[in-house]
Structure 1
Amino acid sequence: MALYEHVFLARQDLAQAQVDALAEAATKIIEDNDGKVTKTETWGLRSLAYRIAKNRKAHYVMLEIDGPTTLVAELERQTAINEDVIRYMTIRVDEHEEGPSVMMRKGDRDRRGGGGRGRDRDNSNNNSDN
């Protein structure tokens, strides 16, 4: 079986319970097509880079999937006709990440004061002065 990551963006005006119901519906579609969801992550309500269908924000959800290729076509078909989903993407991966995804770790780095972009910029300016 192949490994996939499926991310969808739900409308901003949905409640968290409705977003969870969308994830459960996607999980049911996957399981009905001989697949298995190995991990579900809800990334929360995030700002979009540009407005999509009058939405400035969206609820992000990622599913890690293990299943046959045929299940992706059915999952994307069902997702495309759902009016609560404004964007989706499914990609095939070689292996699933252990632990939280990069999007979940990003919040940890921001809380610790990481990032480091400002330091790199400062160091490059100091090096050019020498």
Structure 2
Amino acid sequence: MALYEHIFIARPDISPAQMESLIEETKALIEEKGGKTGKTEYWGLRNLAYRINKSRKGHYGLIDIDAPADVVAELDRIQRLSEDVIRHMTVRVEDHSEEPSAILSKKDDRRGRRERS
């Protein structure tokens, strides 16, 4: 099986709780089809680089996947049909890092600076 990182952006009008359930549904789909999921991250509501479907913001999520290619193809098909997901991307990687992603570590750095001030 190959290792992948799957990032997706959901509509800005859903709640963070709905985004968490969307992440859990995606994990369940992967595991149901025979894949394994690693770390999952919810990056929050963030600004988009450009407008997508008249939206300037979106909820970002990341899932580490260890699965065969047919599971990733099915995940791609399901997310293309989903009305909540506005963009998604799956990238093959050599190995998964157990550390938080660069996005989350940047948030932690900002919090630490505020607390020291």
- The equivalent of 2:50 in structure 1 is 50
* CA distance in structure 2 between the partners assigned to 1:111 and 1:79 by the alignment: 33
- The equivalent of 1:60 in structure 2 is 60
- The equivalent of 1:121 in structure 2 is none
Counting only pairs closer than 5 Å after superposition, residues 8-19 of structure 1 correspond to structure 2 as 8-19=8-19
* CA distance in structure 2 between the partners assigned to 1:112 and 1:34 by the alignment: 40
| Larger RCO (alpha carbons 8 Å, 6+ apart) | 2
Counting only pairs closer than 5 Å after superposition, residues 1-130 of structure 1 correspond to structure 2 as 1-112=1-112
Paired letter, 2:82 = N
- What SS does the aligned partner of 1:98 have? coil
* CA distance in structure 2 between the partners assigned to 1:109 and 1:38 by the alignment: 24
* CA distance in structure 1 between the partners assigned to 2:98 and 2:15 by the alignment: 29
TM-score (norm 1): 0.83
Paired letter, 2:7 = V
* CA distance in structure 1 between the partners assigned to 2:38 and 2:108 by the alignment: 23
Provide, for residues 40-88 of structure 1, a one-character-per-residue CA deviation record: whole Å limited to 9, x for no partner: 1000000111110011100000000111111000000000000110000
Q: Is the 8 A contact 2:12 2:58 kept in 1?
A: yes
* CA distance in structure 1 between the partners assigned to 2:43 and 2:91 by the alignment: 18
Q: Tell me the C-alpha RMSD between the 2 structures.
A: 1.1
TM-score (norm 2): 0.91
* CA distance in structure 2 between the partners assigned to 1:38 and 1:28 by the alignment: 12
Per-residue deviation, 1:111? 3.8
Per-residue deviation, 1:112? 4.6
* CA distance in structure 1 between the partners assigned to 2:17 and 2:10 by the alignment: 12
Instruction: Give the percent of matched residue pairs that are identical in Structure 1 and Structure 2.
Output: 52
- What SS does the aligned partner of 2:96 have? coil
* CA distance in structure 2 between the partners assigned to 1:99 and 1:86 by the alignment: 27
- What SS does the aligned partner of 2:64 have? strand
